[in-house]
Each structure stands twice: as C-alpha cells, then as structure tokens.
Amino acid sequence: MGVSVNSSASRKKAQVGIEYLILVSVLLAIIIIGVSFAWLVYNNAIANSSMLDSVQNLKQTANYVNALGPGSSLIAEINLPTGVLGGMAKKNSIDYNVQIGSGPWYYNAQVDGNISETPLPTTAGGHRLRVSMVNGIIVIQEV
C-alpha cells in the first residue's frame, strides 16, 4: 500500500504561510513609513524651535543693551540649524530666512532700539554675538 499525501492540506498550509508573510511585510512597510515621517516632523520641529530661540535671544539681548544705554555691551549666544539662507539686522528688526522641511521660513523680531545694518551669521551651529550700543545705535558683531 502506498502512502497518500493530502495535497490539499499542504497547499492550504503554504497559502497561509505566504499570506502571513505578505501581511507582516505590509505592516513593516507601514511602520517604516510612519517612523520616517515622525522623524522628519521631529527634526523640523527641533530646527524651528532652535531658530525661534536664537532670534528671541538676540532680540532680548538687543533690548537689554538699548535699556542700559550708551557704552553697554552684552553677549548673545545663538544656535542656528542647518538651512539658514540669510540673516540681517537693520533699523529695528532682526530677520532670518531659513529652509526648514519643504519650504522657506521667515523669522522676524522687532527690537526697541535702532540697530546698525549688519549681516548675521548663517552657518549651522553655535555663535557668540557681541551686542553693544555705540552713539545710540545697537551694533551686533560676531565674537
């Protein structure tokens, strides 16, 4: 007597195995896409927060120097993210253009005093800026 193999049962097991493999593959792909998107959003939020903190710190330092009057000088420490396209201090504003994520962002802070027209640092990383008042005008220089 020969041994009969139930081919229908082995096909069902193979089909279940393949379906399980496809399901796991699809779920892994969804998880990878979700984690990638979350990482992108997280990095953009960190860059945005860093830029906001830098502009606000520079603004507060300029306002303190303006309040202290002629001859005063303070150091502002800022940390710029990658993607800074340009920065300028002039009249009574501090302006930065930054490429974060899919589009350009514009950061502006109004200062109480008059600032001499000065280009601001654009390279990523930490910067120390001397903010001083000379002849009634706020001067910003990188240290």
Domain boundaries, the chain: 38-142
**Model pLDDT, residue 125:** 95
Residue 56 to residue 99: CA distance in whole angstroms: 18
User: Sign of the C-alpha dihedral, residues 60, 85, 132, 116?
Assistant: negative
Taking the C-alpha atoms of residue 12 and residue 8, their distance in angstroms, rounded to an integer, is 6
Contact status, residue 69 vs residue 89, Cβ threshold 8 Å: no
Q: What pLDDT tens digit does each residue of the chain (143 aa) get? A: 555 556 777 788 888 889 999 999 999 999 999 999 999 999 999 999 999 999 999 999 999 999 999 999 999 999 999 999 999 999 999 999 999 887 899 999 999 999 999 999 999 999 999 999 999 999 999 99
Q: How many alpha carbons fall within 13 Å on the CB side of residue 115?
A: 27
Could you tell me the pTM of the whole model?
Answer: 0.79
Sheet containing 103-119, strands listed edge to edge, beginning at the edge strand earlier in sequence: 73-80, 125-134, 137-142, 103-119, 84-100
User: For residue 6, what pLDDT is reported?
Assistant: 61
pLDDT at 11: 81
92 neighbors 111 (Cβ within 8 angstroms): yes
Residue matched to tokens 């960190």: 46
